[in-house]
């Protein structure tokens, strides 16, 4: 067996994780020696014990390495173990780096400086827009955007980076043959096809569950020099990722929201605890002495030149979040009939979009 195959075998044993393998490596010197040793010797290593030792020696009774290698080849995937020079160096810094990384795409995307952008699965329009905007600007500045391919903020973070023609890395909470959520299959294909990468530490056939997502989160933060939480409720998994980032010595940033919105409570708590408040991408890049290059049309309003005064007035008073019709009328000071007809014209020009309940948002 090759070294990588030995790591794959150890990675298939549920009772043996990265920390125990590190102790075994200290004791035996190599993964090959670990697999060649009897259970009695393995059990003598501090923190291993007889049950885990027996599981290591019996790995081939519960897992088929040949089948795994065939599936990896059939699916066009690659595997790198943590002794390989191409294994992301920044990930080796954390307490429990994965034994192996299954990947699809370009693993060098992980070698560039990366910012993680994460948040809740249930988001507001404001959160979606901020995730896309910040990720676009981070990628446009030449950094990799890392996230978890989940519904909500993760999805919009990947989309923003792709829109900037940048690289983005998605770390999955399941194996690479089970893209989750399934509706993000096309997004996953775009990530891998545009210079980014899809990553997972899980053997093929592993479904997502309550244990795999926290394990995924430590890789998201571990691959990044900083982590940005865009929107998170009080019990959001993004807060767990932020705690992991702190433990790993990463910078943590949080985007504030409205004080009456549940989606903002997690971010506000992080800010109270010392996370850096983000009002713009400069707050993130400035922490690393980076400057975002001027984008096309920067400093100019992204609106057509032929807008009428009423159309320009309505667009200027609209926030990134949802805007009620009454709120727009109150802010712009125009008669309600004028505002209604103006919004209709802007909607026909695809500059605003109407939501249920007579709410309006500006389009990208």
CATH number at residue 51: 1.10.150.20
77 found inside a domain: no
228, β-bridge pairs: 117, 253
* pLDDT value for 349: 84
Both 153 and 268 in one domain: the answer is yes
* pLDDT value for 272: 94
Please check whether residue 252 is in contact with residue 229, taking contact to mean a CB–CB distance below 8 angstroms: yes
pLDDT digits (tens, 9 = 90+) for 39-59: 999 999 999 999 999 999 999
| DSSP assignment letter at 172 | -
303 found inside a domain: no
242 found inside a domain: yes
Both 201 and 53 in one domain: the answer is no
| pLDDT exceeds cutoff 90 at 80 | yes
DSSP line for 279-346: SSHHHHHGGGT--PPPPTTTTS-SS-TT--HHHHHHHHH--SS-EEHHHHHHHH---HHHHHHHHHHH
pLDDT digits (tens, 9 = 90+) for 228-279: 999 998 888 899 999 999 999 999 999 999 888 888 999 999 999 999 999 9
Q: Of 288, 319, 341, which residue is a domain's last?
A: 288
Q: Are strands 323-324 and 352-355 parallel, antiparallel or unpaired?
A: unpaired
CA distance 225 to 141: 15
69 found inside a domain: no
What contacts 170, CB < 8 A, 6 or more positions away? 146, 147, 148, 149, 154, 158, 188, 191, 196, 197, 198, 199
Both 263 and 182 in one domain: the answer is yes
Both tokens assigned to 47: 């923190």
User: At 107, is the pLDDT very low, low, confident or very high (cuts 50, 70, 90)?
Assistant: very high
51 found inside a domain: yes
Number of H helices, E strands in the chain: 16, 12
Cα atoms in the Cβ-side hemisphere of radius 13 Å centred on 295: 18
| pLDDT exceeds cutoff 80 at 288 | no
Q: Characterise 249 by phi-psi region: left (phi > 0), alpha (psi -120 to 50), beta (else).
A: left
| pLDDT exceeds cutoff 70 at 198 | yes
Query: Which residue range is the domain that position 349 belongs to?
Result: 309-362
Q: Of 225, 255, 288, which residue is a domain's last?
A: 288
* pLDDT value for 294: 47
| pLDDT exceeds cutoff 80 at 321 | no
For the segment 16-28, the average pLDDT, to the nearest whole number, is 94
* pLDDT value for 300: 44
pLDDT digits (tens, 9 = 90+) for 141-161: 899 999 999 999 999 999 999
| pTM exceeds 0.85 | no
102 found inside a domain: no
For the segment 117-128, the average pLDDT, to the nearest whole number, is 93
Q: How many domains does the chain have?
A: 3
Q: Determine the distance from the C-alpha atom of residue 147 to the mean position of all C-alpha atoms in its chain, rounded to a whole number.
A: 1
DSSP line for 127-148: HHHHHHHHHHHHHHTTPEEEE-
């Amino acid at each position: 067996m090759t070294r990588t195959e030995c790591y794959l075998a150890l990675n298939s044993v549920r009772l043996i994780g990265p920390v125990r393998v590190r102790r075994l490596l200290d004791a035996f010197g190599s993964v090959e020696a670990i697999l060649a040793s009897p259970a009695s010797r393995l059990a003598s290593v501090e923190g291993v014990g007889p049950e885990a030792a027996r599981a290591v020696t019996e790995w081939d009774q519960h897992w088929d390495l040949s089948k795994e290698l065939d599936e990896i080849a059939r699916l066009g995937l690659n595997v790198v173990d943590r002794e390989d020079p191409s294994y992301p160096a920044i990930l080796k810094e954390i307490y429990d780096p994965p034994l192996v990384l299954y990947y699809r795409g370009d693993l060098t995307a992980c070698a560039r400086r990366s910012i993680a952008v994460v948040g809740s699965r249930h988001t507001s329009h404001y959160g979606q827009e901020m995730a896309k905007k910040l990720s676009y600007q981070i990628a446009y500045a030449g950094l990799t955007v890392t996230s978890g391919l989940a519904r909500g903020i993760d999805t919009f973070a990947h989309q923003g980076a792709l829109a900037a023609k940048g690289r983005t890395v998605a770390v999955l909470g399941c194996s690479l043959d089970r893209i989750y959520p399934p509706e993000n299959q096309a997004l996953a294909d775009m990530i891998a096809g545009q210079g980014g990468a899809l990553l997972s530490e899980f053997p093929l056939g592993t479904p997502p569950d309550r244990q795999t997502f926290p394990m995924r989160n430590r890789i998201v933060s571990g691959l990044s020099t900083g982590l940005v939480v865009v929107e998170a409720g009080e019990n959001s998994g993004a807060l767990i990722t932020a705690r992991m980032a702190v433990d790993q010595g990463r910078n943590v940033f949080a985007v504030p929201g409205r004080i009456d919105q549940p989606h903002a409570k997690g971010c506000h708590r992080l800010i109270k605890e010392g996370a850096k408040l983000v009002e713009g991408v400069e707050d993130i890049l400035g922490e690393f002495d980076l400057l975002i290059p001027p984008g096309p049309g920067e400093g100019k309003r992204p609106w057509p030149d032929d807008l009428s005064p009423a159309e320009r007035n309505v667009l200027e008073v609209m926030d990134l979040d949802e805007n009620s019709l009454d709120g727009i009328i109150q802010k712009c000071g125009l008669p309600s009939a004028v505002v209604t007809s103006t919004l209709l014209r802007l909607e026909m020009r695809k500059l605003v979009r109407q939501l249920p309940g007579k709410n309006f948002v500006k389009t990208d």
